[in-house]
Structure 1
Amino acid sequence: MDVMELDRRARAATGAIIDRVPDALLDAPTPCDSWTIRQIVEHMVDNNRAFVSAHKDSTVDIGHDFAETGQAVDDLFADPAVRERTFTLAGVDVDWRGAVAVHFADVLVHGWDIGRAAGLDVTIDDDLAAAALRVTSRFPDSVRGPDRGFDHPRPVRDDAPVWIRLLAFLGRDPEWTRRAE
């Protein structure tokens, strides 16, 4: 599948989850250690804004919410000139497909983080989870560990659904639930 389509689908799924989060839960803890729902959304918006401002006129206002900034990322990568550039992510140079693939995996998994933190029943489509697992399996070990992009993998059954294997591979506890308040 086209990496841009994967990214669009991940943004749509995560955007739908964000839209279902009540304002009262924005400061709730998430499976992403030390981050609240609000902080994860801000992280994704900041990532979107950073992609665009690094490669387009930074004086253009691309919006301030997840949907607007996500559309700006989509527009950015539709530009053939941008597709010729090299992107540096976590100290590694990648082409545009690599940059979009990382964006896709980040958005997809953070959608699960947000949904779980809000107490929503969230699963990840098998084809998206399988694609994200392929992408993230190529991440260097330097992005893993406390205060890094992802934690160390957790044990999981070989026959677990692919979305569970993805979450465990990225250091998440697939059984994580929000604590009663």
Structure 2
Amino acid sequence: MTMTTPLDLGPAVATTNRVVAGVRDDQLTGPTPCADTTVAALLDHVHGLALGLRQAALKQPTGEPVAAAETLPTDWRTRIPPELDDLAAAWRDPAAWAGESEAGGVPLPASWAGRVALNEVLVHGWDLAVATGQLYEPDPAAVQACLDYAYEFAAAAPEGRDTIYGPVVPVPDDAPVFDRLLGLTGRDPSWTPPN
């Protein structure tokens, strides 16, 4: 938990940006692996987290995020990718990883906030990809860092883990690393949209 070495959010951001660009308008009302969350609402969440977690890197108060399909900006296709790029750039500064920060109105070590940012981009990128029928190839280093974080977070703050994620989805111990991360974050790695 004393990690201060910056992680590069760039590869995860690039992958998620490709997914965002591939979302069609007719898919906005479709379901995602996030319970009761449409594609549009998840895009709005990604928009908000890009801004809020960039503020966390800059040690600026973020406030409580609110996401809804109705508040998705109309220019989301051109707005979200640069916001995610700015998020990655902010976390490239070693100072972002030092000291204390805040994410979603919750104070926490900056090293955790940076891993929250990476985890949010990585996992929600997958959520959007599977919801819209797109290929998703996550950055292996990001996946491992997020898996380590998920285990640490669950051990250190089990009540917090239960409020952020859905129930753990059991996956075999020898499952791919990304599948184990998805299971720990309350996702079924084999989830597909209902027909």
Instruction: Name the TM-score class by shorter chain.
Output: 0.7 to 0.9
Say whether 1:49 aligns with 2:70: no
Residues of 2 paired with 1:4 and 1:38: CA distance? 28
Q: Structure 2: where are the runs of 5+ without partners?
A: 62-74
Say whether 1:163 aligns with 2:181: no
Over residues 109-149 of structure 1, what are the superposed CA-to-partner deviations in whole Å (9 max), with x where a residue is unaligned? Answer: 0011111111223343433322210112222212333xx32
Over residues 53-100 of structure 1, what are the superposed CA-to-partner deviations in whole Å (9 max), with x where a residue is unaligned? Answer: 564899xxxx962212122223434556655552123634212x3222
Residues of 1 paired with 2:97 and 2:178: CA distance? 29
**Residue 101 of structure 2 aligns to which amino acid in structure 1?**
F
Say whether 1:128 aligns with 2:137: no
> How does 1:92-171 map onto structure 2 within 5 Å?
92-95=107-110, 97-139=111-153, 140-145=157-162, 148-171=163-186
Q: What value does the CA root-mean-square deviation take over the aligned residues?
A: 2.7
**Residue 24 of structure 1 aligns to which amino acid in structure 2?**
D
Moved over 6 A (4+): none
**Change beyond 3 A, Cα 1:56–1:170:** closer
What TM-score does the superposition give when structure 2 sets the normalisation length? 0.75
| Aligned partner of residue 138 in structure 1, secondary structure | helix
User: Residue 176 of structure 1: CA displacement?
Assistant: 0.8
The range that moved more, 22-31 or 126-135, is 126-135
Residues of 1 paired with 2:59 and 2:176: CA distance? 40
Residues of 2 paired with 1:84 and 1:111: CA distance? 26
**Residue 142 of structure 1 aligns to which amino acid in structure 2?**
E
Q: Structure 1: where are the runs of 5+ without partners?
A: none
Residues of 1 paired with 2:33 and 2:118: CA distance? 19
Task: Tell me, yes or no, if the aligned pair for 2:6 and 2:93 is still in contact at 8 Å.
Answer: no
Task: Tell me, yes or no, if the aligned pair for 1:11 and 1:70 is still in contact at 8 Å.
Answer: yes
Task: Tell me, yes or no, if the aligned pair for 2:31 and 2:193 is still in contact at 8 Å.
Answer: yes
Kindly, what percent of the aligned residue pairs are identical? 29
Task: Tell me, yes or no, if the aligned pair for 1:130 and 1:162 is still in contact at 8 Å.
Answer: yes
What TM-score does the superposition give when structure 1 sets the normalisation length? 0.80
